[in-house]
Chains A and B, each alone.
Chain A
């Protein structure tokens, strides 16, 4: 039962977008801050810092979670996915990202990374989501630009595209 001292830094290792990542953090460092300030992965945005706005949502062991309500030390051994891991290559967008672009599902982009991660996690488990289910997923995020309708349209189109692609495999 190792006790982690608040004044010292502690070794933490987790998988970030498929790659093993190790770092040293104080016990009080939030996962979102570790990602942004230590790893330098600034795609994950930090909004309200108390779990309400959803901007910092990342995928932890397959499920979307607020990275501002998680300590970096709690991520030890976890599989973490962030928006940096969505695109298949630097010059190509994922199906979901491309649908967001087509439908103008973002304007300022502050909430986008979090919404993409929630939808990505959801579409990984269900390719036939109903509009109601998608509203429930998007309901965990605040967006002040779009009015949500284009986000919903993009998510429905991405689900349809992914369904078609899965039939061809």
Chain B
């Protein structure tokens, strides 16, 4: 399994990337950490004519603290994000989920934005972005735009990104006082793709549960503060609405049961750690 032939550009500026995307459109693919894209090239699931590598564009390797959000730009590796002190303090949900992303040996190269752009329906990084109601920042030669996480993910490995757009950064909202956050996942082995992963945000008035691995994209639902059988009924309804399907990893029925069980557990955990 070897990649097919392609042109390769090692970009030095953001402008070089957007110019390349404008010129080549869907023929070009942006290469970040390569932990999904190069595997897809090896398996010939992707055959771009041109790869434009963004990892040496210095302005894209920043974790920026904004008033309400932590913004992570396109060349920030998962290992670098995990090591950054601001993450645990301000985005505890992402800090809790990152150790579940692949292995140490893939997090050393894989990026946060690359996982968002790849949009695997079972991936943890997009799940947290949806759970926290974050946003994706897209850039072309002519314009910038911001898309909410929920609008960005449009299907199985499909996003709202246009062919000439670069995922420049993703913004994870900072923890809010009075809110609790929790993450949980079930897979065959640690580091495997999740069968079901759940992220929860709970405050005084609201419980928000986001689920990956069941629908064709990470999906969130808001509930009032429910308990007991009311919570069970709400989770059961949500599990059915996600319309999971059977595959070699698990049946749809097992996935529904995981949503019910993990959903309850992760919501209670988030409620218990409210600050």
Contacts and interface: CB of A to CB of B under 8 A. Distances in A.
Interface of A: 1-7, 26-28, 30, 33, 49-51, 54, 57, 60, 63-66, 68-71, 73-74, 76, 118, 122, 136-137, 139-140
B6 interface: yes
Interface string B39-50: 101110000001
A152 B104 CA distance: 16
A64 B104 contact: yes
Contacts of A2: 9-10
Contacts of B11: 1
Nearest to A5: B7
A116 to B, nearest CB: 13
A117 B104 CA distance: 12
Contacts of A73: 8, 10
A88 to B, nearest CB: 25
A143 to B, nearest CB: 13
Contacts of B4: 28
B105 to A, nearest CB: 4
A51 B106 contact: yes
Contacts of B41: 28
A65 B108 contact: yes
Contacts of A28: 2-6, 41
A146 to B, nearest CB: 16
B60 interface: no
A26 B8 CA distance: 10
A140 B6 contact: no
A30 B3 contact: yes
A122 to B, nearest CB: 8
Contact of A66 (B50, B53, B106): B106
18 contacts: A1-B12, A2-B9, A3-B7, A6-B8, A26-B5, A27-B8, A28-B41, A30-B3, A50-B39, A50-B43, A63-B108, A64-B104, A66-B35, A69-B34, A69-B38, A69-B106, A137-B104, A139-B191
A66 B42 CA distance: 13
Contacts of B5: 6-7, 26-28
Nearest to B189: A139
B105 A140 contact: yes
Given A4-B10, A69-B109, 7 more contacts: A27-B5, A27-B6, A65-B105, A66-B105, A68-B38, A71-B38, A140-B103
Contacts of B39: 50-51, 69
A54 B105 contact: yes
B59 to A, nearest CB: 15
B7 A60 contact: no
Interface residues of B, number: 36
Contacts of A57: 105
B104 A118 contact: yes
A97 to B, nearest CB: 19
A58 B219 CA distance: 37
B55 interface: yes
Nearest to B49: A6
A118 B53 CA distance: 25
Nearest to A33: B2
A68 B105 contact: no
A76 B10 contact: yes
A141 B53 CA distance: 27
A49 B42 contact: yes
B159 interface: no
Given A49-B1, A50-B42, A51-B35, A65 B7 contact: no
A70 B32 CA distance: 11
Contacts of B6: 6, 27-28
B245 interface: no
A7 B5 CA distance: 8
B190 interface: yes
Interface in B1-39: 1-13, 16, 34-35, 38-39
A7 B109 CA distance: 27
Contacts of A76: 10
Given A49-B1, A66-B106, A27 B7 contact: yes
